[in-house]
Structure 1
Amino acid sequence: MTAQRKLIRRTALAATAGVAALVLAACGNGGNGHDMGSMESSSTPSATATSKAGDHNDADVTFAKDMIQHHRQAVDMAELADDRASSKEIKDLATKIKGAQDPEIKTMSGWLTSWGEEVPEDMSDMDGHDGHDMSSGMPGMMSSEDMEKLEKASGAEFDKMFAEMMIKHHEGAVEMAKTEKSKGKYGPATELADEVIKAQTAEIDQMNKILGKS
């Protein structure tokens, strides 16, 4: 994992989040009854105004902020598989994880911006800081030591370590998503939480099979 590659990804995500926020704001001012961040629609302008960015609660904000950091670490782990994994199945799974979670980071960043909330800064590649440990209170997050071990591994050792760590990571994400489903208010956020539960539960099953545990 090079700092340059991670800086490019973070810059791209930030730019996309800004564009998403502008689009959300434009839709909010248009009064056309459609929310770019949700599947909700309304037949009247007055109803539209109440179903926009303000229709969320603290649980939604916490979910978006925490899951952004959680997803960032999963993407970091997935990127390591490019030149370290020996199993095609692990490489394909890592590509799938990155392909799903990068767009979700952008979506959640757009929500936070439209709500007037700060998007968590990615500190994982800055000298003297480690974004993983800063977020270690979240379920399933790897420590900096765990990430260093994964980065140094290769071949079959990497494959096994990746699967074991990602299972734990996914289990944490599922737990966070279940909390959002029970406490959240923002429709698109609870829908995303449901998708996280379905997708990552299936991937946990797949990784357990890879490890010969099921």
Structure 2
Amino acid sequence: MRRAERSAASADRRGFLVGSVVALAGVGLTACASGAATADAAVPNDADLGFCTDMAFHHEQAVAMCQRVLGADTGGAVQNSAAEILQNQSYERGLMHAWLAEWGQSTAPPDTVMGWMGMETPAASMPGLATHAQMRRLAELTGIEKGREFLELMRAHHVGGVHMADAAVDAVAITRVSTLAQQMSRQQTYEISLFDDLLTGLYA
């Protein structure tokens, strides 16, 4: 097998691994959330409300990034990653919106974010969010360059998400929210390591 073919095969295996792990995480979330929803009767605090509102907003852009690359000629690793991130983060966003509705809270996009972390900032300046120009560039690029841009933007997006999830773990009052935050942190940290591998390999 030629070196280019070996690299592509290795990248596809890594992409498959991303998909497998994210899919398993989604199954775990379904199980723990459905069980905890009936057992956990704690009243949400500001961190519960803020984290669910802000992370749902953050996830919205991740979903949009995935939609911009799916079906494009970016290589199998990026296609697999985008498909699974789209599925997983769409589910998580829906879950957090359901909880917010249960608590009588709005699910509209916030104007400011991270106040519950003592770091209140305009929503557009949220750590990890791509700019409008970056999102437009992602939509316009093709081939491996498009794949590389996706990996770089999603990596930065995940770093911002992990920062928020880690802050939520001990700040929230409701067990199911803390469990979700821990799973997000673990999953996205793992994905960052895979993105780094791809960015120094096939997508360098």
Unaligned ranges ≥5, structure 2: 1-32, 111-121
Residues 16-35 of structure 1, C-alpha deviations (whole Å, 9 max, x = no match): xxxxxxxxxxxxxxxxxxx8
Quote the Cα distance in structure 1 between the aligned partners of 2:129 and 2:79.
21
Residues 153-174 of structure 1, C-alpha deviations (whole Å, 9 max, x = no match): 1111101111011000000000
CA contact (8 A) 2:51 2:164 kept: yes
Shift of 1:39: 5.9
Q: Which has the higher contact order (CA 8 A, sep 6+)?
A: 2
Provide the residue aligned with 1:60 in structure 2: 48
What secondary structure does 1:83 align onto?
coil
Quote the Cα distance in structure 1 between the aligned partners of 2:166 and 2:153.
20
- Correspondence for 1:177 among 165, 177, 182: 165
Q: Where do residues 60-209 of structure 1 align in structure 2 (5 Å cutoff)?
A: 60-121=48-109, 135-209=123-197
TM-score normalised by the chain length of structure 1: 0.69
What secondary structure does 1:67 align onto?
helix
Quote the Cα distance in structure 1 between the aligned partners of 2:57 and 2:138.
18
CA RMSD in angstroms comes to 2.3
- Correspondence for 2:36 among 16, 35, 38: 38
Give 1 or 2: higher helix fraction: 2
TM-score normalised by the chain length of structure 2: 0.72
What secondary structure does 2:170 align onto?
helix
How has the CA–CA distance of structure 1 residues 155 and 37 changed in structure 2, closer, same or farther, with 3 Å as cutoff?
same
Look at both structures and tell me which one has the larger radius of gyration over its CA atoms. Answer: 1
How many aligned residue pairs are there?
A: 160
User: Percent same amino acid among aligned pairs?
Assistant: 29
Unaligned ranges ≥5, structure 1: 1-34, 42-50, 123-133
CA contact (8 A) 1:63 1:180 kept: yes
Quote the Cα distance in structure 2 between the aligned partners of 1:161 and 1:176.
23
- Worse-superposed segment, 106-115 or 82-91: 82-91
